[in-house]
Amino acid sequence: MKSEVVITEHQLPGDVIAAIEQGQKIEAIKLLREATGLGLANAKVLVDRASRTHGPKKPIPNFADQQEGVSGLAKSLGLVLLIVAAWYFYQG
């Protein structure tokens, strides 16, 4: 009879956590399966859960800090003003 392994995302081996921190989720799944004998689906679920806390942090883009974002906004605003002026002129 095969014994089942019960493990949570808080009990992962160190090498699995290191792989998650480096953004290598597939490698983390492989390492976890080798260490615990879990199936693919269960290992993936655990790695996905652990990546919420241990995964690489993605910076949240700030629109005002992006140079092309500001110039793109200025171009869009200019185009809107041009359209409004043309509409006002032709309505008159």
Question: Residue 28 corresponds to which tokens in the numbers above?
Answer: 């983390």
* pLDDT tens over the chain, length 92 residues: 455 667 777 788 899 999 999 999 999 999 999 998 899 999 999 999 999 888 887 777 666 566 566 677 788 899 999 999 999 988 86
Domain hosting 77: range is 62-92
Together in a domain, 17 and 40 = yes
Together in a domain, 7 and 40 = yes
Domain total of the chain: 2
Together in a domain, 6 and 21 = yes
pTM above 0.95, yes or no: no
Together in a domain, 53 and 75 = no
